[in-house]
Amino acid sequence: MLLWTAIALGASAAVGQSADGPGAGDHPGRAIYLQHCQRCHGPDGEGTDQVSAPLVGERSINQLAALIDETMPEDDPDAVDAAAARQVAEYVHEAFYSPLARERTRPARVELSHLTVRQHLHSIADLVGSFAGELPSLGGERGLAGSYHKGRSFDGQQRIFTRIDPGVRFDFGTEGPDPELFEPGRFAIRWSGSVVPTDTGIHEFVVRTEHAVRLYVNQRGDAEDPLVDAWVKSGTDTEFRGRVMLLGGRPQPLVLEFSKANQGVDNPNRERPTRATVELLWRRPGGLLETVPARCLIPEGAPPTLVLTTPFPPDDRSTGYDRGTGMSAEWLGAATTAAIETADHVAAEVDRLARVRRDAPDRPDRLRRFAATFAGRAFGRPLDEDLQRLVVERPFADVDPDAGLRRSILAILVSPRYLFRTDGFADGARPVADPYRVAGRLALGLWDSIPDRQLLEAAERGQLASPEQIRRQAERMLVDPRGRSKLRDMLVTWLRLDQSAEIAKDPERFPEFTPEVAADLRTSLEIQLDELLWRGPTADFRRLFTDDEMPLNGRLAPLYGVDLPATADFRRVRPDGGQRAGVLTHPHLLAMLSYRSATSPIHRGVFLARGVLGNVLKPPQEAIAPLAPDLHPGLTTRQRVELQTSPATCQTCHALVNPLGFGLEAFDAIGRHRPVVRTDGPAETVAEVAVDDSGAYQPRHGAAVGFRGARELAAMVAASDDSREAFVRNLFHALVRQPVRAYGPGMQGALEASFGEQGYDIRRLAVDIMVATALGPPASAATAGPPGAPSR
Amino acid sequence: MTHHHGPIGRRELLRRLGVGSAALPFLGNLPSLARGAAVGPKQRLIVLFTPDGTVRKNFWPAAGSLSAAVDGAPVALPPILAPLEPFRDRLLTLKGVCNKIRGDGDGHMRGIGCLLTGVELFPGNIQGGSDTPAGWSSGPSIDQEIRAHLQARPETATRFGSLEFGVLVPNRADTWTRMVYAGPNKPVAPIDDPYQMFARLYGQTRDRESLRSVLDEVREDLAAVSAVLPAEDRRILEEHAALVRGFEEELAEQRTAAAHAVPVLEPGILEDNDRMPQISRMQIELLVASLAADFTRVASLQYTNSVGQPRMQWLGIDEGQHDLSHEPNSNAAAQEKLTRINAWYAGEVAHLARRLAETPEPGGDGSLLDHTTILWTNELGEGNSHTRNDIPWVLVGGGLGFSTGRALEFPEVAHNRFLLALAHAFGHTGLERFGNPDFCGDGPLTGLA
């Protein structure tokens, strides 16, 4: 397996460490451990009543030795000197503490799991969508296609011109779009294309106009129930709303029809040229009302997507990534309700999806064939006779064909073959590299979804056998809207942006930090991530930390010291004379990792230590409220944090956390650069002192690194093996949703090496991970023996 | 079929997984089994709309008792009402009840938009054949007012409160196609697809049945796929199987509890002009079944729309109804055709009355018709003049306690007063005004009971 991985990745050498470490049982550190440590940590580090958490982590022997020397045993740190601490560290590291030790004692395996919520949403969207048509690509122009008509309707005869509008926000006055081409009292415009929302969730659309409008979102343009139907103008309302569930990252059709004319009986004599304005706005989940921006619109249409509205219980994220490993009545109820929701949709749309008329004589046969195709796509392989009988023939027996279709769809979607599709477990009797299983792994990994037509065709032709063939498919899939969405979601999760509630600041300290500014900052960071991922020839991971530019618009610019017109849309600028350092200094992140009126070096440090550099931190041993500034007037935030975390019990983690967070102290609680900080306390004691943003980091291997300021901190992070290791592991888990260790002890190291050799290209890494895993876990991991037995 | 239980007993597993008497999420909101416990006799109202006015000379019976006899035989009903002959004693016609609402909108728009609301239309952008453009009604319709009254009381609240049926209502939302309003600017679209209405009424029942039928397959398949799995992974599937089994048992219990007759619809009927008779009968079946199940006590059944243009080729009539209705009264051929068209509608009213009369009142005396009033109405009194005086109001049945077997005439009273009388008949006597208060002067129309 190790050899194969190395070949598949094109890596020159596998980096994985041998699992044959020295025997831990006779290590001299064992005696010291049993004497001083086991009464709290248990004989094998499993924990006791005193310390319930198991003694496991990612620290190196060096880190661990330093820690033990300084802080252990907690009641008498002097009882263990540096040499003894070193021996204890070596022993526990080898026996049970380190990831490798854990791998030896508890071999990881690829576990059966049901679909996650995201996999459910995307699978249903693609399954039903596969009968509706292809998704447009996201590589082209932004905005909506506007079709401008003379007259009051959309008669092609009267179309004057078409053009691409960046959005819909027009004031035509009383003259109309052009008095030479249109009558001012009667013209009609249809804007069409797709909306590409950033988030999955309920979006509220708002149309403002004095005239007739219809808005279709994720519907066909001739649907009977437009999201907004104000074609009948009645009374004085000029604002019309509708709410719709949308799937993030995926084009979903949008049509806005506008008519400046009376409807009903055609009588131009009764029409007058009144003012005509029209604006299309939306409110993203958790966002503010804003004109739908051009970056979320494309002029190409798309087939409507079925977006499940069934609420699911949240997935288990205890291992750091979503996994479908919990079983509950709530989950089964949700899965069943989702199956019914899908069957409802398919039953209502089947004439179009199966291209069959209600009164067609061969309708029964056509619906049966449709159900069989549906099942094949849901299960990711053509049906054999037994399955055909189970999910098609039996449901269709003895009922009318439309009722049979509903039953069949239900049978397919509540089948364990569908719900537990992860790693094609239902094909367990087939070879691990069976091409349909490979297709299934690629689709789940890169899309959280089912294989598309091209993947299934490749499987059928046996073209998913070699790493090259798999690589070509993975590269194709990654730039698809679904692949882009998956990669973006990974970054958002990794940066914890998905867990950030609305950011609010003390209005007296930061009156400029309005809800609009907070919303724009979130958008700015999203744009920065999207540009990093997709704009250049490669998506260089290190630029996440080294980029001194960021996107700002006219509203944000003055706040962050940049000169832009007030109405400017987002554009890349270089604030503060190049003091910025990628996402680490993005004001959204800095504001998120701050208190209402002051910075929080601890939050920032934890984010760096745990999220970015991949260290394992335990929660504080007791809940501690931050020191009130009034108690120790005259201190800076940094000094107060140092004071509060000075006890030895705190230093086990804060020795790592604080110096990282201090590196960002030159940015205030809303992420503005500041050369000086004010001390806290009563007004008469407040002083301005120069920022101290020096810090340090002890990596898991090698010597400690000191730095001063965000740029040096970011350079350290960008060059750090620890950040690389953490990112590779995070991306692996986001894509494969299985422990990386289940793929052999060499997998992580080989991927890291390849990442470095390929210029830290995130896109390339995603493809490499899929190439390395699509043929399945090593046989030994897939059929792991009983717990405790070695997996080799 | 074999079924793996694994090391833990199934019941224990179910308990641990939280499956018990608590229903799974989508199984909630079942039909109102516990509701509607008998507190006095039930009252129901069905508003049935047909378009384009009537043929006055062939519609209005002579004022007085409809049982009045000449030479021992009752006087024949006028041709349009003839299909209602079997219900002569349950019949009440009201002449001289007029829609007096003025303001924006043409006659057809105000005809339907103010028919049940008794209030002006908002100014808007819908231009009619004459008059100024208008929008939606500026108030609720009386059926929705009654619905709100019934829903506010546990003893009269039902699962749906009201149901809006349609027959070939055009697929466009405008002032001519909407009769029912939940409030100002809140038109309620009738459902004119019987399959869609069926799904609304019985979707949950159908889903439960479908699920029951597929769960056997699921369990069979679970056993097959479990067999090839390593022992650790089999655990999660065993939990899954236990949940499925618990689910199945729950479905079976629900089924026993919810059992009542569900209408069977002929599949594959397309919504087009020529299928109007079939669609009408399908909707009537669903409507009667909804009342029998006490899904609702207020319903409407809207045939086409104001300015409706059905072409009743099944009667040998090729022209559209609205075109015919514009012909002068001197056009005898048109009058004859319009008479047959309206008599066909009367036949559908009679069929509805018959189905109600055939259905015993659940848990009570007599039939559904004894506790239901059908109110057949129209947006105009006459098509060619567009008058909204003498709207052809026909009531059938005993739901509102009105004294039937009569043809009443009133001296041009505003229909707001009749709408008030409907509400009062439901015990909604706190309602003193409805729609435009200027037309409610003397309170609810009297002389009906």
Domains of chain B: 44-202+271-439 (3.40.720)
Angle (nearest 5°) at CA A340 between A335 and A341: 95
Using DSSP, state whether B298 is helix, strand or coil.
strand
Under an 8 A CB cutoff, do A344 and B217 touch? no
Mean local confidence (pLDDT), A93-109: 75
pLDDT digits (tens, 9 = 90+) for A364-423: 999 999 999 999 999 999 999 988 999 999 999 988 898 899 999 999 999 888 998 766
| Residue whose token pair is 């064992």 | A30
Which has the closest alpha carbon to B146: B163, B122, B162? B162
Tally DSSP H helices, then E strands, for chain A.
Answer: 28, 19
Mean pLDDT within B11-18:
42
Interface residue A154 vs chain B (CB under 8 A): no
What pLDDT shows up at residue B259? 52
Reported pTM: 0.80
Residue in the structure block whose two tokens are 């959204």 = A588
CATH 2.60.120.1560 domain extents, chain A: 144-298
- How many whole angstroms separate alpha carbon B99 and alpha carbon B118? 7
The string of DSSP codes covering B171-188 is S--STTT--EEEETTEEE
Q: How far are the Cα atoms of A169, A568, A637, A696 from residue A707, in angstroms, in the given order?
A: 49, 36, 19, 6
- Do B440 and B416 contact (CB within 8 A), yes or no? yes
Is A428 in the B-facing interface, judged by CB distances under 8 Å?
yes
CA nearest neighbour of A120 among A304, A345, A337, A376: A337
Which residues in chain A are contacts of B193 at CB distance < 8 A?
none
Chain B CB within 8 Å of residue A238 CB: no
- Kindly list the residues from chain B whose CB atom is less than 8 angstroms away from the CB atom of residue A406: 206, 210
Greater confidence (B335 vs A424) lies with B335
| Interchain CB contact of B236 with A (< 8 Å) | yes
Q: What's the pLDDT tens digit per position in B89-115?
A: 999 999 999 999 999 999 999 999 999
Which among A479, A420, A467, A461 is positioned nearest to A444, based on CA atoms?
A420
Q: What is the pLDDT of residue A106?
A: 62
Touching B: A residues 354-413, CB under 8 Å: 358-359, 363, 386-387, 390-391, 394-395, 400-403, 406-407, 410-411
pLDDT at position B38? 45
Q: Which structure tokens are listed for A433? A: 């590299």
Quick one: how far is CA B410 from the chain centroid?
28
d(CA B104, CA B303): 24
Question: Which of A327-331, A758-762, B364-368 has the weakest average pLDDT?
Answer: A327-331
Place of tokens 């600028």: A573
Give the pLDDT confidence of A565-604 residue by residue, as tens digits: 999 999 999 998 899 999 999 999 999 999 998 999 999 9
Contact, B107 vs B385, CB < 8 A?
A: no
- A718-736 as b/e: b if 16+ CB within 10 A: bebebbbbbbbbbbbbbbb
Facing residues of B127 across strands?
A264
Query: Of A75, A68, A117, which Cα lies nearest the Cα of A90?
Result: A68
CA A262 – CA A232 distance, rounded (Å) = 9
pLDDT at B62: 93
Residue positions counted in chain A = 792
Q: Is B57 helix (H, G, I), strand (E, B) or coil?
A: helix
Q: In whole angstroms, what is the distance from residue A10 CA to residue B436 CA?
A: 83
| Superfamily of domain A29-105, CATH level 4 | Cytochrome c-like domain (1.10.760.10)
* pLDDT: which is higher, A527 or B228: A527
Of B315, B319, B343, B349, the residue nearest B331 (C-alpha): B319
Give dist(CA B77, CA B312) in Å, integer: 23
Angle between helix A481-494 and helix A435-447 axes, rounded to 10 deg: 60
* Percentage of chain B lying above the pLDDT 70 cut: 89
Q: How far apart are alpha carbons A655 and A710 in whole angstroms? A: 18
Judge whether B206 is closer than 8 Å to chain A, CB to CB.
yes
pLDDT recorded at residue A385: 92
For residue A356, what are its two tokens?
Answer: 């069959």
CA end-to-end distance (rounded Å), chain B: 65
Cα A296 from chain centre: 17
Q: What is the pLDDT of residue B268?
A: 75
CA distance B301 to B285: 12
Sign of the CA dihedral with A277 first, then A283, A284, and A288 last: positive
Per-residue model confidence as pLDDT tens digits over B166-220: 999 988 889 999 999 999 999 999 999 998 898 888 877 778 778 888 888 888 8
From CA A274, how far away is CA A448, in angstroms rounded? 51
Q: Could you give the CA distance from residue B107 to residue B306 in angstroms, rounded to a whole number?
A: 10
Strand partners, A192: A145, A255
Write down the pLDDT at residue A15: 27
Interface of A with B in 94-113 (CB under 8 A): 109, 111-113
Highest mean pLDDT: which of A265-279, B30-44, B277-291? B277-291
Q: Answer yes or no: is pLDDT of A719 > 90.
A: yes
Cross-strand pairs, A258? A189, A213
CB contacts of B174 in chain A (<8 Å) are 231-232, 263-264
pLDDT, position B255: 61
Report pLDDT for B160: 92
Please give the residue that has the higher pLDDT: either A106 or A176. Answer: A176
Residue A789 pLDDT > 50, yes or no?
Answer: no
| pLDDT of A618 higher than 80 | no
For residue range B80-95, what is the model confidence (pLDDT) as tens digits?
999 999 999 999 999 9
Is the pLDDT assigned to residue A213 strictly greater than 90? yes
Residue range A235-254: average pLDDT? 94
pLDDT at position B10 over 80: no
Asked if residue A684 has pLDDT above 50, the reply is yes
Distances in whole angstroms, Cα of residue B424 to Cα of each of B390, B434, B445: 22, 11, 10
Q: Domain spanning A144-298 has what CATH number? A: 2.60.120.1560
What pLDDT is attached to residue B376?
A: 98
Instruction: Give phi and psi for A290, each to the nearest 5.
Output: -150, 155
Interface test with B, best of A227, A232, A407 (most B CBs within 10 A): A232
| Alpha carbon distance B51, B192 (integer Å) | 16
User: B44-49 and B372-377 as β-strands: parallel, antiparallel, unpaired?
Assistant: parallel
B86 CB within 8 Å of a chain A CB: no
The dihedral sign for the CA sequence B405, B111, B151, B367: positive
Q: Which residue of A has its CA nearest to B175?
A: A232
CA-to-CA distance for A323 and A318, rounded, in angstroms?
9
Summarize pLDDT for A620-634 with one digit per residue, the tens: 766 677 777 777 788
CB within 8 Å of A420: residues ≥ 6 apart? A112, A113, A114, A115, A426, B225, B236, B237, B240
Per-residue pLDDT of A516-528, as tens digits, reads: 999 999 999 999 9
Amino acid at A747: M
Please give the structure tokens belonging to residue A87. 């021996």
Residue B125, min C-alpha distance to chain A (Å): 5
Q: Using CB atoms, which residue from A224, A329, A406 is nearest to B243?
A: A329
Confirm or reject contact between B3 and chain A (CB < 8 A): no
Average pLDDT in chain B = 87
pLDDT computed for residue B151 by the predictor? 95
Question: Per the CB < 8 Å rule, is B124 touching A235?
Answer: yes
Flag if A264 and B136 touch (Cβ within 8 Å).
Answer: no
**Which DSSP helix (H) or strand (E) runs through B255?**
helix B231-258
Which residues are paired to B44 by β-bridges? B372
Q: Provide the number of CB pairs (under 8 Å) joining chain A to chain B.
A: 176
Other residues' Cβ atoms within 10 Å of the Cβ of residue B86: 12
> Between these two residues, B219 and A708, which has the higher pLDDT value?
A708
Mean of the per-residue pLDDT values of chain A:
87
- Residue A574: phi and psi, rounded to 5, are -120, 90
Residue B380 has pLDDT above 90, yes or no: yes
Which one-letter amino acid corresponds to residue A27? H
B244: chain A residues, CB-CB within 8 Å:
332, 414
Between A36-50, B127-141, B427-441, the lowest mean confidence (pLDDT) is in A36-50
Q: Across the strands, what pairs with A229? A: A214
Nearest partner of B374 among B38, B42, B49, B36, judged by Cα: B49
Lookup: tokens for B88: 């002569």
Mean pLDDT, residues A283-294: 92
Distance CA A657, CA A604 (A): 8
Selection from A763, A768, A745, A790 nearest residue A15 by Cα = A745
Residue pointed to by tokens 């009440």: B92
pLDDT of amino acid A103: 61
**Which residues, 6+ apart, have CB-to-CB distance to B361 below 8 Å?**
B42, B367, B368, B370, B371
Question: What is d(CA A638, CA A659) in angstroms, rounded to the nearest whole number?
Answer: 10
pLDDT of B47 higher than 50: yes
Instruction: State whether residue A678 is helix, strand or coil.
Output: strand
Residues of chain A contacting residue B230, judged by C-beta atoms under 8 Å apart? 783-784
- CATH 1.10.760.10 range(s) for chain A read 29-105
User: How many whole angstroms separate alpha carbon B333 and alpha carbon B314?
Assistant: 17
